[in-house]
Every structure is written in C-alpha cells, then in structure tokens.
C-alpha cells in the first residue's frame, strides 16, 4: 500500500512540478519582454517590477529542481544522474527527455549569469539572456513529447496562449525602434539666467528662464 502511494506521489509531483516550472518560465519571459519593450515604463517605476522578474526566474529553478528530484525518486522509470543530465542516455523516450535536459542547461546558464550580472560584460549577459527563447521552445517540446498531460485540453490552450504571447512580445521587441542617446535628450528649466538678467536691468517678466540639456 505504501509503495503504491509513494509511486503515485512521485508521479503526480513530477507532472505538477513540470507544469508549474513551464508556467513560471513563461511568466518570467513575458514579464521581462514587457519591461524591455517599455510597455511598462521602466524609468521611475518601482524596483519591485524588476525584482518580480528576478524572483520568477529563481522560482523556476526551484520547481525544475523539484521536477528532477521527483523523477529520481520515481520507481516506474529509472532516472539516475546519467539519465537526468546526459542527453539521449535515458531508455524511456530519449529524444523527449533530451529536450528537457537542454532546457535545464539553458535555464541554469541564464540564471547564473543573471545572478552575476554586475560582474559580467553587458554583451555577455545579454547574449546568454537571449537564449530564453530556445529555452522556452525546448521546454515546450519536452512537455508535449514527454508529459502525460499533453492531451489535456486546458494544458493545450494554456501552452498555445503562452506561446502566442511570447511570439508577439518577442516580435514587438525586435521590431521596436531603439532610442539613440544623442537624440533622446530632455530639457530642464532653470532660473539662474532670469535673476542675472533682472539684476542687470533686463526683462523681469520671467516666463520660464533658459533651458539646459540633460543627457
């Protein structure tokens, strides 16, 4: 009886943690794309907007870890360290499992460089961060080829909706024009010149003073 319960527990834990991990990865990507496309104004926005993106990334690592532990503890199909981390080493659906392993490695690379972002060149961090798109694709293929819930209508609609949002926001991000620092200059109003002219007998009407560019 206990063996049956343990087998079912690990099986449900494997399925649930995989679905939750995919959902969190998708949410993290959508939130990051929303911030990078300025649909949410980054300047002047509270710090928790970016912190939420970081938190979702870290949370996805946690659930991927739970997914791996549940697979390791499952007695129905054997998964050891070799089967969990070496592509095509699993006797059970090796291609489907390889997609999941590839997604795990991409997620690890993205999160490690995100945590070390301040110590890395921005180009390196950005290049690694762009692998979020292959990560999303590999995780989605893994879920539909290895998961037991791929025939669930709700899962199919959630995956389709998430994929469409990632596609449209990613396309919008690529096609959106980039602001050039030389042309994106703002102006501020100062009153120093106004009082100087007033002391010299100049015009005291003082509409707005003179403007100084701010880079």
Cα distances (angstroms) measured from residue 208 to each of 49, 186, 192, 205: 36, 16, 11, 9
Residue that the structure tokens 């096609």 belong to = 175
pLDDT of residue 174: 82
Local structure of residue 201 (DSSP, 8 states):
T
User: Could you give the angle at which helices 153-175 and 2-36 cross, rounded to 10 degrees?
Assistant: 20
- The whole-number pLDDT of residue 148 equals 82
pLDDT reported for residue 208: 46
Per-residue tens of pLDDT for the chain, all 215 residues = 455 546 688 889 999 999 999 999 999 999 988 888 766 655 555 677 788 989 999 999 999 999 999 999 988 888 999 999 999 999 999 999 999 999 999 999 999 999 999 899 999 999 999 999 999 999 999 999 998 888 899 999 999 999 999 999 999 888 876 655 444 444 344 434 444 444 455 544 444 444 444 44
Name residues whose C-beta falls within 8 Å of residue 189's C-beta, 6 or more positions apart in sequence: 208, 209, 210, 211
pLDDT at position 206 is: 45
pLDDT at 212: 43
**Spatial separation of the C-alpha atoms in residues 110 and 101, rounded to whole Å:** 14
């Amino acid at each position: 009886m206990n063996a049956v319960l343990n087998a079912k527990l690990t099986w449900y834990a494997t399925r649930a943690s995989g679905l939750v991990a995919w959902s969190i990865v998708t949410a993290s990507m959508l939130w990051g794309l929303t911030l990078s496309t300025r649909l949410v104004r980054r300047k002047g926005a509270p710090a928790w907007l970016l912190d939420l993106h970081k938190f979702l990334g870290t949370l996805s690592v946690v659930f991927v870890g739970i997914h791996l532990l549940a697979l390791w503890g499952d007695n129905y199909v054997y998964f050891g360290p070799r089967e969990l981390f070496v592509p095509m080493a699993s006797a059970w659906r090796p291609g489907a499992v390889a997609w999941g392993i590839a997604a795990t490695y991409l997620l690890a690379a993205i999160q490690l460089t995100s945590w070390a972002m301040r110590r890395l060149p921005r180009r390196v961090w950005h290049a690694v961060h762009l692998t979020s798109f292959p990560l999303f694709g590999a995780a989605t293929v893994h879920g539909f080829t290895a998961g037991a819930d791929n025939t669930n209508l709700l899962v199919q609609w959630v995956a389709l909706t998430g994929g469409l949002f990632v596609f449209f926001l990613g396309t919008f991000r690529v096609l959106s024009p980039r602001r050039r620092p030389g042309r994106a200059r703002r102006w501020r109003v100062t009153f120093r010149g106004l009082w100087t002219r007033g002391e010299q007998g100049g015009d005291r009407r003082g509409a707005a003073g003179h403007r100084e560019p701010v880079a």
